[in-house]
A and B are shown apart, each in its own frame.
Chain A
Amino acid sequence: MALKIDLDLCTGCGACVATCPFGALSQRAEDGKVDVNEACTACGACVDVCPVGALTLEVADRSAMAAEAEQYRGLWVYAEQRAGQLQDVTLELLGQGRTLADKLGVELSAVLLGHQVRGLGDKLFEYGADKVYLVDHPALENYTAEPYAEAMSALVRKYKPEALLAGATSIGRGFIARVAIQVNAGLTADCTELDVDVEKRLLLQTRPAFGGNIMACIVCPDHRPQMATVRPKVFAPLAPVPGRTGELIEEALNLKDPVVRVLETVNAMQNEVNVAGAEFIVTGGRGVGAPENFKLLEDLADALGGAAIGASRAAVDAGWISSFHQVGQTGKTVRPKIYIACGVSGQIQHLVGMSSSDTIIAINKDPDAPIFGVADIGIVGDLFQVVPALTKALRR
């Protein structure tokens, strides 16, 4: 597909230039007519606004690829495990995967990679998988991208799923990007909404871009599988059905020894609550002012019975707190029961990471701070007074 411009029809009105989300259109200096550059993604936004129909999308013949795509059936979820523990995002993806697979009328399968992880299969069935593909191999004992990608690519080539979902985690984003090249498939990163077009059998993959300022819906028309990484905490797991079973298919693969060797694993958050799965989060932003002031937030977290400490990008960039705590587009996405934002202005890049929290409480001096636009309860005030008062009230 490509954008085609009929220069005879173009009147140089400039309507399309203003519409282009990618800044790909400009008016030529000589006659004001429209010109397109490399940034064009053929999204079609300009086609709709052209008053004279000078813009069209050229569609290439893809019938051969479409026929090939017909051979791919079924929805797969990568079952991420670390040190033998299934990650929450896997159960979330099985929940949404179940809905989508039922709409498409296909099986939902989980792909389990690791060493001595067979026992995790039962849980995958209980949370909605019809089948589990298992590769159990010493090369997969520790996660490294190369053998994990090799195993997944081998399974995809053999069993041909029409869609493959993985968590947009450090592991998921690291090796699925290799798989996409190896199996010649399209991959959409970090999706926050997923649906299917049943008639065209397309996975509708929606994700934030430009720092969360716009949302883009992306499809893979011809290539299979349609692959997406999905942000943790945007979908909910199904209630497990104890005793629900399915078919376990073990695939014996000849994997090469890992080229990247794990020397040491360090858990840097041993004594802290991780924001990623926390039920209560107290977050500090630029308004916190200095690293030692996070103590106030820690006291509040303590009074809440052990909340996690979150941080905005501004606080992390200032070096006040480690990036493990960062919430937002370039940090973690969270969905706690209570989210208390202290001195956080609420830039869009922060909001995309926390706006689906159950109850949002914002404390900020500036009554016009954007954070109040998403807060269920906003307190306009100085966090250095309000936070200790909250801690005190909770302890009473």
Chain B
Amino acid sequence: MHIVVCVKQVPNTTQVRINPETNTLIRDGVESIMNPFDENALEMALQLKEKHPGTKVTVVTMGPPQAADILKEAVGRGADAVVLLSDRAFAGSDTWATSYALSTAIGKLEKPDLVLFGKQAIDGDTAQVGPGVAVWLGMPCITYARAIEIADGEATVERLYEDGYEKLAVSLPCALTVLKEANVPRMASLRGKMAAKKLVIEPMTAEMSGADPAKLGLNASPTRVVKIFSPPPKTGGVKWQGEEPEVMAQRLVDLLRERKLV
């Protein structure tokens, strides 16, 4: 079996803060990480590899040259091969152009049985690239997957809803977007780290991917960001402190009753 995992390097958004004077993101000191949901997709692939001997896991990313860092991390954890899709021609790609570019890179590989993505990336939060790549590759896509079993060329997948889940069956090949509850991602092994250290990653350019230049980058992207701003500042109401909990609790209940809220 050949499993392709698509990953993205993202800023750790839990560290991002806004400069209140300039209204811009403060990026200094914000580390770049593998998108957390992609770690779960990678872990799912590695667990399938352990269960199904002979499985090969290829990890693909699109990004600037330094995105090679997350590919090395993936190799450290057990990925067999990596692809760094990197070219100025991809600059400014929205989800439409990104999903096209990724599909061309995957098209250059041995035909995958399974293509895995994280549920969404924590910087853009779109959840659109996985289903998009699946269309370009002519595959079905199951989003929000938390478990998978594979037998006889068929996958059984648990797909989460707002209030429950479904068990689904699909013939391979197929694409999946993976939830955090699917697994606990492993750390890189010492041997893996050694292998990653030695790894030299030659980027795959737009030309090498065979992509149609008219479908790449900002010019091929249907969407445009026209304005960026900080969310309007919130103003709090009253704050009670320094009193006995029972007193504050009773006052709150009185207030809610007075306003006929309870």
Contact = CB atoms under 8 A, between A and B. Distances in A.
A264 B165 CA distance: 8
Interface stretch (B74-82, B186-194, B253-261): B253-261
Contacts of A380: 239-242
A260 B223 CA distance: 30
A371 to B, nearest CB: 9
A67 interface: no
Contacts of A373: 234-236
Contacts, number: 312
Interface string A74-98: 0000000010000000000000000
Interface residues of B, number: 93
B127 A173 contact: yes
B237 to A, nearest CB: 4
B131 A40 contact: no
B245 to A, nearest CB: 4
A175 B142 CA distance: 9
Contacts of B22: 18-19
A381 B126 contact: no
A268 interface: yes
Contacts of B123: 209-211
Contacts of A330: 120, 122, 125
Main SS class of interface, B: mixed
Given A187-B223, A267-B163, A393-B250, A260 B238 contact: no
A218 interface: yes
Given A174-B144, A177-B127, A41 B92 contact: yes
Interface stretch (A123-131, A132-140, A245-253, A345-353): A345-353
Interface stretch (B38-46, B52-60, B105-113, B166-174): B166-174
Contacts of A338: 256, 261-262
Interface stretch (A42-50, A103-111, A154-162, A236-244): A42-50
B164 A376 contact: no
B143 interface: yes
B228 interface: yes
Interface residues of A, number: 110
A262 B234 contact: no
15 contacts: A145-B131, A145-B140, A170-B143, A186-B221, A210-B13, A210-B25, A211-B16, A218-B225, A261-B170, A274-B162, A352-B231, A379-B249, A380-B241, A389-B249, A390-B252
Interface of B: 11, 13-14, 16-18, 22, 24-25, 27, 63-64, 86, 88, 90-96, 99-100, 120, 122-128, 130-132, 134-136, 140-144, 156, 160-171, 174, 179-181, 218-219, 221-231, 234-242, 245-246, 248-250, 252-253, 255-256, 259, 261-262
Interface of A: 1-2, 18-21, 23, 36-45, 60, 82, 144-146, 149, 169-171, 173-175, 177-178, 180-182, 184-190, 204, 208-223, 259-269, 274, 276, 304-305, 317, 322-324, 329-330, 332, 337-338, 347-349, 351-352, 355, 359, 361, 367, 372-382, 385-386, 389-390, 392-394, 396
